[in-house]
Structure 1
Amino acid sequence: MEMQTTVLIVDDEPDIRELIRLYLTNEGYHVLEAADGREALELTRQHTVDLMILDVMMPGMEGMEVCVRIRKTQWMPIIMLTAKTGDLDKIQGLAVGADDYVTKPFNPLELVARVKSQLRRYKQYTNAAPVQKNLLSIGGVTLHPEKRQVWVHGQPVHLTPREFDIVALLFRHPGVVFPSEEIYERVWGEPMLTSNNTIMVHIRKIREKIEDDPKNPAIVLTVWGVGYKAAAHSHPGRDE
């Protein structure tokens, strides 16, 4: 029997928690609730949480701080929930490790759809396919796809969820060149409608964390005019 998926709702407004809980339980999810950030952190220590819906504005510990603390040890998808509408707030939430952002007031059906989408992408890396349980290694960089952990020369390194997904995609297909548009569509799960620098910025941050010499990468390589690839061999290469 398949284990029930657990979603943690973190919001200081009981009515909001109740509304979300009703829709999620109707979809068959097991729901936990927390009224503040500290309670949320305690619940994540006591239970296996598959996804978190996290309010930004809460008394005591705000959602941004909760997200930062969670990301030190756990990689479940986090959907930020907030009354703020500014792009800066959204960017800040994504920068600290959130995977999606929903603005209040929200359509509960849309929130449920986003929950399903995030869980579907997350489980691509955590389900039981044997290849996903194997360690992926290139050079001195090793990934554990199931636990979403990364080591560089044996030392643990923190990647954001998006950064991890990009590296995992490239490491699963060493030597295969992925255009930026395809990387975006596979990792974000939606078309890249306009040309932007999102992938380039993420690749730069990844290199700063995993390459011995980020300016002369040997692991994540650029194929100019085409896209990016992981080095095809375990020994250091050089950027093309």
Structure 2
Amino acid sequence: MEEERVAVVVEDEADIRSLLSAVLAQAGFTVHGAANGEDGLELVRLHQPLVTTLDVNMPGMDGFETAKRIRAISATYIVMLSARTEEIDALQGLEAGADDYVAKPFRPRELRARIDAMLRRPRQHIATVPTTPSAVDQPASTGWLEHQGVRLNPATRIVTVDGADLDLTRSEFEILADLLGSGRRVRAKSDLALMLRGEQYTGVEYVSDSDARAIEVHVANLRRKLGESPSQPRWIETVRGVGYRLTA
């Protein structure tokens, strides 16, 4: 039986909340709405939605703090919406755990497309780490990718560093998996941005400066969780002006 598609809309303006609910309902979601962060957090806890839309400017607990608290209890896809279009606001949203940041006013069709792109990316799962041989030795039989003590399994979505579990967001996981699968081949920031959007480079896609900056934020967060110094990288090497690749 197909899993029920549930969404939570957290928005203090009733008309926008109604519009978002309509867009998600047309996409096949059962929608629950809240007018503030506290109620939205409780709805996420109760329904464990696949998608959550989150306004930034709300009375009481703002969207950034709400996103952090939601991310602590749920793997829901978070889309933040705000009239604040400064790049720092978008980056703050991504750092809080959001998967995407959409500026108001938004076009319903564009929002629907962004959500569809997110749903093409696998959700994060929690599982125990099996004892398997190194992926470097047996990549086909085990499905593990490994480099310098980092091990990643795309099927089970498990990541370990020197045997210890590593908790990553979906975007961080996908970037690390992409880099591990690419070896020493350089992955441009634009390529990584398109990968997160579920697209492939054909020469006609548009990747904004904000998209590229978001990749920098994701990589910085990934490095922080790995415990890596950008100046003396153990795993991820920066290729200035281009992107990233694995260290030698």
**Is contact 1:211–1:217 with CA below 8 Å preserved after alignment?**
no
Secondary structure at 2:225's aligned position in 1?
helix
Letter in 2 for 1:192: V
**Is contact 1:208–1:214 with CA below 8 Å preserved after alignment?**
no
Alignment gaps of 5+ in structure 2? 126-139, 200-204
Query: Where does residue 167 of structure 1 map in the other structure?
Result: 176
For normalisation by structure 2, the TM-score amounts to: 0.71
Q: Does 1:94 align with 2:88?
A: no
Query: Where does residue 187 of structure 2 map in the other structure?
Result: 178
Letter in 2 for 1:54: L
Distance 1:154 1:49, change over 3 A: farther
Secondary structure at 1:218's aligned position in 2?
coil
Secondary structure at 2:41's aligned position in 1?
helix
Shift of 1:19: 1.9
Whole-angstrom CA distance in 1 between matches of 2:222 and 2:241: 20
Whole-angstrom CA distance in 1 between matches of 2:216 and 2:56: 28
Query: Where does residue 225 of structure 2 map in the other structure?
Result: 209
Secondary structure at 2:207's aligned position in 1?
coil
- Once the two structures are overlaid, the 10-residue window that deviates more, 3-12 or 58-67, is 3-12
**Is contact 1:56–1:62 with CA below 8 Å preserved after alignment?**
yes
- Any residues of structure 2 matched to 1:90-169 within 5 Å, and which? 90-120=90-120, 122-123=121-122, 136-143=145-152, 145=154, 150-169=159-178
Letter in 2 for 1:96: A
- Any residues of structure 2 matched to 1:25-104 within 5 Å, and which? 25-104=25-104
Shift of 1:80: 1.0
Distance 1:33 1:187, change over 3 A: same
RMSD (Å), alpha carbons: 3.5
Alignment gaps of 5+ in structure 1? 231-238
- Any residues of structure 2 matched to 1:188-199 within 5 Å, and which? 188=197, 189=199, 191-192=206-207, 199=215
For normalisation by structure 1, the TM-score amounts to: 0.73
Letter in 2 for 1:98: A
**Is contact 2:186–2:244 with CA below 8 Å preserved after alignment?**
yes
Percentage of matched positions with identical amino acids: 39
Secondary structure at 1:84's aligned position in 2?
coil
Q: Does 1:21 align with 2:37?
A: no
Shift of 1:66: 0.7
Shift of 1:211: 4.9
Shift of 1:93: 1.8
Whole-angstrom CA distance in 1 between matches of 2:157 and 2:41: 19
Query: Where does residue 234 of structure 1 map in the other structure?
Result: none
